[in-house]
Amino acid sequence: MLSAVTDLGSIESTVSKNLPVVSIHQLGLCLSRASASVLNLNCSLILLPMCRTLLAYLRGSQKVPSRRTRRLLDKSRTFHITCGVTICIFSGVHVAAHLVNALNFSVNYSEDFVELNAARYRDEDPRKLLFTTVPGLTGVCMVVVLFLMITASTYAIRVSNYDIFWYTHNLFFVFYMLLTLHVSGGLLKYQTNLDTHPPGCISLNRTSSQNISLPEYFSEHFHEPFPEGFSKPAEFTQHKFVKICMEEPRFQANFPQTWLWISGPLCLYCAERLYRYIRSNKPVTIISVISHPSDVMEIRMVKENFKARPGQYITLHCPSVSALENHPFTLTMCPTETKATFGVHLKIVGDWTERFRDLLLPPSSQDSEILPFIQSRNYPKLYIDGPFGSPFEESLNYEVSLCVAGGIGVTPFASILNTLLDDWKPYKLRRLYFIWVCRDIQSFRWFADLLCMLHNKFWQENRPDYVNIQLYLSQTDGIQKIIGEKYHALNSRLFIGRPRWKLLFDEIAKYNRGKTVGVFCCGPNSLSKTLHKLSNQNNSYGTRFEYNKESFS
Amino acid sequence: MGQIEWAMWANEQALASGLILITGGIVATAGRFTQWYFGAYSIVAGVFVCLLEYPRGKRKKGSTMERWGQKYMTAVVKLFGPFTRNYYVRAVLHLLLSVPAGFLLATILGTACLAIASGIYLLAAVRGEQWTPIEPKPRERPQIGGTIKQPPSNPPPRPPAEARKKPSEEEAAVAAGGPPGGPQVNPIPVTDEVV
């Protein structure tokens, strides 16, 4: 509509000279409107995968019965990144198109339709247009914010300096505020009195120099929508039937559609953040802190009304360590009906975990063996946020599951094993293959007790093949070959060297013919890629391997 | 916040600004806007900035991800020594490069982005960061037979290690021990009992 009316204005001044410029004008406007629509959609969708509590609720609720739908939720981070990249590309298109428009608005200033012009006078410097109008200024600021956010979100920065990524990404709120102001500028207008001044009507009090011959005039408008009363352009030239303008055209700004698009997800996201803030405002009570070999610390705590499913993770926030940082850790023990204690295992890498450990465990006793410190020392205040969902929750919903853990990646599976120790009958799982690969033999002691207890329990219940444990020591100096004297069951299941995945997959396929096996991996990327590739290969036993992926940084 | 290495972020920003400058320059020169020569300048400046910023510097702690094929540019950038190592120089250079592009509408975004990158480089320089090239690790050639030690020179029974010391050390350390190395001298004379 706008193109039509602007065309009218530019054509009425001069006809032939404006043709190339008019077509650029149309292209620029069309491109900017099209990219704006794409941006509307993406800016609204990008917030949805970040509503993590909502996604965790959907994952666990009965309303999402299909496994395929739940697997879609695993890809929420990838979806967010895709929307982000799309926003980036189409912002580029939008900015380029508007820069061209700014130039055209100043060059093709129309005296006839003063309200339609974005420029205030002819040949106004387009840079002034950019910086002194509300849409222009907010647009420039938005591009700067987007530039900061995107350059800090690359994979290299996320892996090396996560803080930069996190702090700049919180600028998204500024971006959204600027966006709501940007579309309120009222640049796009539509005509309100179409019946009294239809496009293509002739005004009786125009000077003769501005009157153009009719056939030429109407052949320009063949691509526009016509109001009722006119049917085909051929009819114009044939019948020369035109309407006379009753009054001057009146224009009104379009209602900014963007507000409708972004208000829903933005309100949803704000509501979720508020809910998470209220929920995490009460500190937890730390019951015990246990030091494990290979730089791992276990924290057991309680919090009222805290419920979690096995495989979920929480984020820890300790103001005494750092006022702003939140760090995610998978729950290794979930609260049950009988026991409200839950716990996490943390590996000490990086400054936050080091400072946290120094606060909880006095430095003198950090090298000692596994000893629970049940003393009334003053633990710092600890706040948790969560629990949030993860793909590992699905391992209890397969009939057969293969869980592969690399090093500290065993934590999500530890909560699964704890749940099975508690009660295995309510779940669909009937056979679990548990493979744990570590570099250091002392690492196995983190969960050696749990594994032995589980093994004994299933042996007593006459289901020895429920859990099949294989432990691998990938690097060895040949000296220590056993985990500990009392862990007989584990020592006989300890292998030196890396697992041979193809043989393992063939064995599992052979013993579970025709079934669907869920494959879960928590470890380094190379391991994950190998397993993904093997899961997608066909085998001769008709067994299907479904790979469930968790994406970390 | 104390552990953040700002130079890496500034590097990403400068690379992105270089690309924005090139794009804006192409639009300006192709559209033959007035003052299109600023567009041509912008393309040249953009290419220069991209080439300078392509090799990523090494992080102080931990491993750094290299960009694909960056070792060729690393060799070139290393040649300039302190001009490329020092981030103050880079900050000033980027600021100066960004100014001429600000006169043309099509390239004004490149100016803004490069100016921000220059600011972050200044912050990195103030915090004492430097650009160190990522050297390829020298491949350790597997020594064939390096672990095979010399076979023992004496037949068994061999005296303990102290006795097997070289004659020069034996003079210095008068340690109790068996007879020095060399042909075996039996402490108890062995007689052949064959009658």
The 8-class DSSP code of residue A301 comes to E
For residues A233 and B68, which has the higher predicted lDDT (pLDDT)?
A: B68
* 3 state DSSP class of B184: coil
**What does CATH list as the number for A391-552?**
3.40.50.80
Q: Given the structure tokens 């580029």, which residue do they identify?
A: A92
B65 vs A155: CB contact, 8 Å cut-off? yes
Burial of B14 (0-12, 13-18, 19+ CB in 10 A): buried
Burial of B159 (0-12, 13-18, 19+ CB in 10 A): middle
Picking from A387, A395, A402, the residue whose alpha carbon sits closest to that of residue A531 is A402
Nearest CB among B16, B27, B62 relative to A96 is that of B27
The sign one gets for the Cα dihedral A347, A353, A359, A362 is: positive
Task: Kindly report, residue by residue over A294-308, the tens digit of the pLDDT.
Answer: 899 999 999 988 999
Radius of gyration of chain A (CA): 33
Whether residue A192 is predicted with pLDDT greater than 80 in this model: the reply is: no
A143 vs B112: CB contact, 8 Å cut-off? yes
The sign one gets for the Cα dihedral A266, A271, A273, A274 is: positive
Amino acid in the structure at residue B103:
F
* 3 state DSSP class of A228: coil
Q: What is the model's pLDDT at position B85?
A: 84
Confidence class for position A367, pLDDT limits 50, 70, 90: low
Interface of B with A (CB under 8 A): 1-6, 8-9, 12-13, 16, 23, 27, 31, 33, 56, 59, 62, 64-65, 105-106, 108-109, 112-113, 116
Task: Kindly report, residue by residue over B23-69, the tens digit of the pLDDT.
Answer: 888 888 876 767 778 888 999 999 999 999 988 888 887 778 888 88
Domain ranges of chain B: 6-59+66-127
Confidence class for position A38, pLDDT limits 50, 70, 90: very high
Whether residue A221 is predicted with pLDDT greater than 80 in this model: the reply is: no
Does residue B112 contact residue B16 with C-beta atoms inside 8 Å?
A: no
A151 vs B106: CB contact, 8 Å cut-off? no
Q: Give the residue on B whose Cα is nearest the Cα of A144.
A: B113
Residue from A137, A147, A159 to probe the interface with B (highest B Cβ count within 10 Å): A147
CATH topology for A283-360+379-389 is Elongation Factor Tu (Ef-tu); domain 3 (2.40.30)
Q: Which residues of B touch A147 (CB under 8 A)?
A: 13, 16, 112-113, 116
Low-confidence ranges of chain B (pLDDT < 70): 1-2, 31, 33, 139-148, 159, 161-182, 193-195
Q: How far is B57 from chain A (nearest CA, A)?
A: 12
pLDDT, average across residues A25-47: 88
Confidence class for position A216, pLDDT limits 50, 70, 90: very low
Q: Which residues of B touch A151 (CB under 8 A)?
A: 9, 12-13, 16
Nearest CB among A102, A157, A351 relative to B8 is that of A157
A150 vs B16: CB contact, 8 Å cut-off? yes
Q: What is the model's pLDDT at position A248?
A: 72
Task: Kindly report, residue by residue over A236-289, the tens digit of the pLDDT.
Answer: 444 455 667 777 777 777 777 888 899 999 999 999 999 999 999 999 999 999
pLDDT, average across residues A137-164: 89
Rounded CA-CA distance A99/A91 in Å is: 12
**Which residues have CB under 8 Å from A255's CB, separation 6+?**
none
Does residue A546 contact residue A517 with C-beta atoms inside 8 Å?
A: yes
Preceding peptide of B159 cis, ω within 30° = no
Q: What is the model's pLDDT at position B132?
A: 83
Domain ranges of chain A: 19-133+185-193+251-271, 283-360+379-389, 391-552
Q: What is the model's pLDDT at position A120?
A: 59
B8 vs A155: CB contact, 8 Å cut-off? no
* pTM > 0.80: yes or no: no
B65 vs A140: CB contact, 8 Å cut-off? no
- Across chain B, which distance is largest between two alpha carbons, in Å? 122
For residues B130 and A202, which has the higher predicted lDDT (pLDDT)?
A: B130
Q: Which residues of A touch B9 (CB under 8 A)?
A: 151-152, 157, 161, 164
Alpha helices, H only, A213-314? 214-219, 233-239, 257-279
Confidence class for position A124, pLDDT limits 50, 70, 90: low
Q: What is the model's pLDDT at position B68?
A: 84
Alpha helices, H only, A171-298? 172-182, 214-219, 233-239, 257-279
**Which residues have CB under 8 Å from A17's CB, separation 6+?**
none
Q: What is the model's pLDDT at position B116?
A: 93
Nearest CB among A126, A157, A163 relative to B12 is that of A157
